[in-house]
Amino acid sequence: MRKKYLDTSTEDLLRIRESLQEKYEAYKAEGLDLNMSRGKPNAEQLHLSMGMMDVFHLESDLKAEDGTDCRNYGNLEGIPEAKRLLASIAEVEPENIILFGNSSLNTMFDMVSMAFCHGVLGNEPWCRQGEIKFLCPVPGYDRHFRITELFGFKMINIPMDQDGPDMDMVEQYVNNDPTVKGIWCVPKYSNPQGYSYSDETVRRFAALNPAAPDFRIFWDNAYSVHHLYYARYDVILEILAECRKAGHPDMVYKFTSTSKISFPGAGIAAIASSKANLDEIREYTGVQTIGHNKINQLRHVRYFRDIYGIQAQMRRHADIIRPKFELVESVLDDDLGGLGIGTWTNPRGGYFISFDSMEGCAKAIVARAQEAGLTLTPAGATYPYGYDPMDSNIRIAPTYPSMEELYIAIDLFTVCVRLVSIEKILEERFEAYHLG
């Protein structure tokens, strides 16, 4: 068994640091340009959907099943067959879903903007209610936090574990504080930890009794079909059904898209919710647009056909990216296992691995990696305002680099982790010696 760095003598740590520094300098000399900063599909994954380009030709029938000419204006909420396809991904009925453009993030922004400027189901607009708060499970998705930061919310950190957010804290805030207007959730293969909410967590969400009548759960089910392992994948309860059972049908906006199924820049986004919420959303979006890209909607349906076509596609994605996750986990285990200087998640789906360093080391690790040519997500990005109070969380995104690049990237990453950790330990020992 390896000796933890904290239990290693100063003399031995200095020797280890010297060896690691030589390896680090060799990497710097290579002039690397590696990137693990965002959860982007790689070119091989994008190629999986190129057959969509051949779905239509000059003589194609571009009419939807209800007779809609997809080349023209109209049909604000999406053509019927595309609604069925997205509803199957979101695990809801087609009447509970409205299609949007290519981006679920854009749709989330629109829902925050609608509530902020115009209110929710007859309630006062959020912008007229003084200080308002939003709950943010952490670590979480940086782009969620940037939306609520832009609108001036006071964002409150809610710790996450393998079952989801700390529901005792969520209930305390939501059920007692009318200034709490929403919570961000990535319920399946969460960003960045890859956790999936337990049945108890989902039921406790559905059973919330908000002090604010205009409180909404922003349920970003971005990774609903994004399994890495089809023999053992996560299943979560469907939140809209649970809310109806609990007597709170209007409490959730549920978001989904095909962004990491087909093309991230040219997919279909959708929102699922109650009839009351969808009626209000139709009125709001009807001012924004006469209709979204129905040709793209029809193209997706003609190519994937149904949920079975989607599942087949996602197996192909998994076959490409699963070895990358396994490579990262293997190198982390080989290089850092037992040293006591870091922990990491081993997700069964999604796009990220969450790494936690020793407290106070994340920024230095990211900076050290950047200096050697490896770009990571900025330290702190997984927390509101870009501030991680422990300075420990780093999001690892394995999908975009090639396998060869990824091996170099994660090996360099572990070198940086070990160097920064040793320096932290030596600095603390030096301070303790002089203070003593």
- Neighbour count for residue 429 (Cβ, 10 Å): 13
List the chain domain ranges. 5-45+311-431, 62-305
Which pLDDT belongs to residue 1?
67
CA distance 217 to 253: 6
What is the signed CA dihedral for 98, 102, 107, 109, rounded to 10 degrees?
Answer: -170
Q: Looking at domain 62-305, which CATH architecture does it have? A: 3-Layer(aba) Sandwich (3.40)
The one-letter amino acid code at 201 reads: T
Mean pLDDT by runs of 10 across the 436 residues of the chain is: 92 98 98 96 97 96 97 96 98 98 96 98 98 98 98 98 98 98 98 98 98 98 96 96 98 97 96 98 94 97 98 98 98 98 98 98 98 98 98 98 98 98 95 71
DSSP helix/strand/coil, 279? helix
Phi/psi zone of residue 293: left (φ > 0), alpha (ψ -120 to 50 degrees), beta?
Answer: beta
Q: Give CA–CA dist 255/218, Å, rounded.
A: 8
Residues 139/186, Cβ–Cβ less than 8 Å: no
Per-residue CA distances from 429 to 17, 372, 421, 432 (Å): 15, 27, 12, 5
The residues that bridge with 253 in the sheet, in sequence order, are 218
Task: Find residue 395's DSSP bridge partners.
Answer: 354
Q: What is the pLDDT of residue 432?
A: 75
Supply 433's token pair.
């010696």
- Label residue 334 exposed, middle or buried (CB < 10 Å: 0-12, 13-18, 19+): exposed
Rounded Cα gap, residues 102 and 89, in angstroms: 15
Q: How far apart (Å, rounded) are the C-alpha atoms in residues 144 and 136?
A: 9
The CA distance from 259 to 297, in Å, is 13
- pTM score, whole prediction: 0.96
Architecture of the 5-45+311-431 domain? Alpha-Beta Complex (3.90)
What is the model's pLDDT at position 70?
A: 98
